[in-house]
Amino acid sequence: MDLLNTLVDKGLRRELPTREEALAVLATSDDELLDVVAAAGKVRRQWFGRRVKLNYLVNLKSGLCPEDCSYCSQRLGSKAEILKYTWLKPDEASAAAAAGIAGGAKRVCLVASGRGPTDRDVERVGKTIEAIKEQNEGVEVCACLGLLSDGQAERLKDAGADAYNHNLNTSEATYGQITKTHTYADRVDTVQKAHAAGLSACSGLIAGMGESDEDLVDVVFSLRELDPDSVPVNFLIPFEGTPLAKEWNLTPQRCLRILAMVRFVCPDVEVRLAGGREVHLRTMQPLALHLVNSIFLGDYLTSEGQAGQADLDMIADAGFTVEGAGTSSLPAHRADVAAATAAASAAAGHGPCGSAPAEAGCGSACGGCSGHTDTAEAAAEAAPAAPSQAEPGAVRPDLVAVRRRGAGTDLAPNA
Ligand code: SF4
């Protein structure tokens, strides 16, 4: 296909495709799907080889959020019977993080529900970062605490944070239909604050919320303009008890096309397969490794992922390798930019306080903030029996399980 040859050439040159080309990827047929994956896979291998970066989520504070993000089980008025707890203590968070690191995670993502942190929360998270870094040399820590006020990104950086996640989630045009308590512009502002403070910016999207192809292309082009180092791609987990509970409109093929489009638009960026991969890609997950270079290990914030060992087996079986702590995730030219940004920030008085050098959500549905469901038992009661052969795009609440282990419980985490 001329389209795919053009997109590969552009991806290898880090050149932005046109909107029409990005839309055409989403419009390809099932007969063309393997060609699309192979083409985007060439771009993935050019910039990231066959490495897969593992990230591990620690939900520092779960539920009880005053915001109304429609996709989120932690939202105001959510009926989802998720775990609800207030801030984990630094040693509790550090113990949860250690399980993920032992499982091969290179980055720990510290997430807290809420509109945004108070200054006291930032201080508390700073102590948690310190505890994790003291016990796990070389680990990257990303904070995901919602909308940031002036000066908070710098304080997180000073406390040793390497990165900050805040997702755009969907296009500017549809944002108001998803959330009313804050705006798309608020989200952009927080990503820019993180960037300006010398933190590696992480910002992505949620697909499957009823958006059009144009919306998907809009949000991915907006992300390219914001230039984050990592782009998590979530697939909506339609939890009972949330307004989007009936939005089961993704197929594995659609998910692969979306991931390929993101890879073509953001060729040299860490594209992370995030919440919803098990639910929507199902047995097609290994094909997605040809498109993304990063995944979450184990469970999400409020829902369960597949077993951590199954993630590791899948990576090995598909012929990929887990990226080690000593390897730079990003291509040299992007790592250089990140280092230069951090140096500029340090020169401006926001030095990294002797912690690991920066490389290049929850406020924000980071990864599996999408862990949003009613109890597994309630879902099972309400759901029809699972069909023996899954229909593409079928309603499958049987695939969604609320997290009942790891952080905030007495049970061992899944890592
Ligand atoms: S996504 Fe974050 S800000 Fe929005 S409702 Fe969920 S926890 Fe609150």
Q: Is the CB of 408 under 6 A from ligand 1?
A: no
Which residues have a Cβ under 8 Å from the Cβ of 250 and sit 6 or more positions away? Answer: 207, 208, 235, 236, 276, 280, 393
Residues forming beta bridges with residue 52, ordered by sequence position: 322
Does 12 reside within a domain? no
Contact in structure between 51 and 321 (CB atoms under 8 Å): yes
- 367 pLDDT above the threshold of 80: no
Domain with residue 160: its CATH number is: 3.20.20.70
Look at residues 241, 179, 252 and name the one whose alpha carbon lies nearest to residue 209: 179
pLDDT, mean over the chain: 89
Question: What is the pLDDT at residue 350?
Answer: 45
Q: Which residue has the higher pLDDT, 351 or 25?
A: 25
Q: Is the CB of 122 under 6 A from ligand 1?
A: no
Q: Which atom of ligand 1 is nearest to the CA of 361?
A: 2
Does 28 reside within a domain? no
- 98 pLDDT above the threshold of 50: yes
Cα dihedral 164, 169, 174, 179, rounded to 10, equals -70
Q: Which atom of ligand 1 is nearest to the CA of 362?
A: 2
Residues forming beta bridges with residue 54, ordered by sequence position: 295
Does 280 reside within a domain? yes
Contact in structure between 168 and 218 (CB atoms under 8 Å): no
Question: What is the pLDDT at residue 289?
Answer: 98
Q: What is the count of structural domains for the chain?
A: 1
Question: Does residue 202 carry a catalytic annotation?
Answer: yes
Q: Which atom of ligand 1 is nearest to the CA of 78?
A: 5
Does 192 reside within a domain? yes
Does 11 reside within a domain? no
Backbone phi, psi, residue 236, to 5°: -50, 130
- 384 pLDDT above the threshold of 80: no
Mean per-residue pLDDT, 141-158: 98
Residue of 142, 266, 366, 369 with catalytic role: 142
Cα dihedral 348, 350, 353, 359, rounded to 10, equals -90
- 352 pLDDT above the threshold of 50: no
394 pLDDT band (50/70/90 cuts)? Answer: confident
Lowest-confidence pick of 47-56, 276-285, 405-414: 405-414
Q: Is the CB of 17 under 6 A from ligand 1?
A: no
Question: What is the pLDDT at residue 391?
Answer: 66
Mean per-residue pLDDT, 247-272: 97
Question: Does residue 109 carry a catalytic annotation?
Answer: yes
Does 198 reside within a domain? yes
Residue of 72, 362, 366, 369 with catalytic role: 72
C-beta neighbour count of 396 within 10 angstroms: 18
Question: What is the pLDDT at residue 412?
Answer: 86
Residue nearest to atom 3 of ligand 1 (CA): 363
The reply, when asked if residue 369 is annotated as ligand binding, is no
- Domain carrying residue 215: 37-324+332-346+355-399
The reply, when asked if residue 65 is annotated as ligand binding, is yes
Question: Does residue 255 carry a catalytic annotation?
Answer: no
DSSP-assigned states of every residue in 200-226: EEE--EEE-SS--HHHHHHHHHHHHHH
Lowest-confidence pick of 61-75, 309-323, 327-341: 327-341
Question: What is the pLDDT at residue 327?
Answer: 85
- 64 pLDDT above the threshold of 90: no
- 223 pLDDT above the threshold of 60: yes
Write the pLDDT tens digit of every residue in 185-199: 999 999 999 999 999
Does 411 reside within a domain? no
Helix, strand, coil share (%) of the chain residues, nearest 5: 40, 10, 45
C-alpha distance from residue 91 to each of 105, 110, 133, 407 (Å): 18, 13, 11, 11
Rounded to an integer, what distance in angstroms lies between the CA atom of residue 402 and that of residue 415? 16
Rounded to an integer, what distance in angstroms lies between the CA atom of residue 368 and that of residue 376? 16
Mean per-residue pLDDT, 363-367: 40
Question: Does residue 266 carry a catalytic annotation?
Answer: no
Please, how many CA atoms are within 13 Å of residue 85, restricted to the half-sphere of its CB?
Answer: 19
Contact in structure between 104 and 139 (CB atoms under 8 Å): no
The reply, when asked if residue 266 is annotated as ligand binding, is no
The reply, when asked if residue 72 is annotated as ligand binding, is yes
Residue of 202, 255, 266, 366 with catalytic role: 202
Question: What is the pLDDT at residue 91?
Answer: 95
C-beta neighbour count of 405 within 10 angstroms: 15
- 374 pLDDT above the threshold of 90: no
DSSP state, residue 348: T
Question: Does residue 65 carry a catalytic annotation?
Answer: yes
- 228 pLDDT above the threshold of 80: yes
Look at residues 198, 143, 151, 177 and name the one whose alpha carbon lies nearest to residue 343: 198
Please, how many CA atoms are within 13 Å of residue 67, restricted to the half-sphere of its CB?
Answer: 26
Does 65 reside within a domain? yes
334 pLDDT band (50/70/90 cuts)? Answer: confident
